[in-house]
């Protein structure tokens, strides 16, 4: 039987499915379209966050999805949107798409698998199980395999996303993962000659 903690985690991670919409919109309608949509979405979310944080207003339906540490600070969805906008603006489409999906599905697999099957906890790290980290890395490798040329780029981006997710505590990993994994992927592209600035 699923614990209440795991059920709440599943509800939160279901929101991550919106990252598929981001990637599909980017693919079918182009960079400008998805950047415009994400910017409008970011503004709307910041307006809602203003009333939630500054005025203490409870948002119907979604209030229970916020973590305790997000009670008086921006929610992870805001940082994820900012990270997605920067990644899509700066990185090639395949790197940006992989980075966005690694942020959401890698994070979701680590949290869900870690809570459900975590038995081997990493010393010195709060709520980090080796099983969850392994699940995230495997999912990130699969995402990389779909979007990226060459195993070096795949392993570098997947490894970066997993390490950042595992070690980040004070900052928001929803912002850091798409930027750090995307940047490291771009470095590999340059080194191996997959990509050059025109």
Domain limits, the chain: 4-192
Q: What is the mean pLDDT of the chain?
A: 86
Distance CA 180, CA 157 (A): 8
Tens of pLDDT, residue by residue over 7-16, are: 555 555 566 6
Cβ-contact 5, 115 below 8 angstroms: yes
Distance CA 100, CA 177 (A): 8
Tens of pLDDT, residue by residue over 18-64, are: 899 999 999 999 999 999 999 999 999 999 889 888 888 776 655 55
* Residue 198 pLDDT level (bands cut at 50, 70, 90): very low
Read off the pTM: 0.87
Distance CA 57, CA 181 (A): 35
């Amino acid at each position: 039987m699923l614990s209440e903690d795991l059920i709440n985690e599943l509800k939160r991670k279901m929101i991550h499915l919106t990252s598929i919409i981001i990637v599909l919109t980017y693919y079918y309608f182009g960079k400008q379209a998805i950047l415009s949509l994400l910017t409008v979405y970011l503004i709307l979310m910041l307006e809602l966050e203003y009333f939630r944080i500054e005025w203490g207003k409870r948002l119907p339906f979604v209030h229970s999805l916020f973590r305790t540490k997000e009670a008086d600070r921006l929610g992870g969805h805001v940082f994820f949107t900012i990270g997605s906008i920067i990644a899509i603006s700066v990185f090639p489409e395949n790197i940006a798409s992989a980075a966005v999906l690694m942020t959401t599905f890698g994070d979701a697999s680590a949290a869900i698998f870690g809570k459900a099957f975590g038995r081997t906890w990493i010393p010195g790290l709060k709520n980090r199980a080796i099983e969850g980290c392994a699940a995230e890395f495997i999912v990130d490798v699969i995402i990389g395999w779909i979007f990226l040329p060459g195993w070096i780029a795949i392993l570098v981006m997947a490894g970066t996303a997993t390490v950042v997710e595992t070690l980040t505590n004070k900052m928001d990993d929803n912002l850091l993962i798409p930027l750090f994994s995307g940047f490291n992927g771009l470095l590999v592209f340059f080194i191996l000659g997959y990509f050059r600035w025109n």
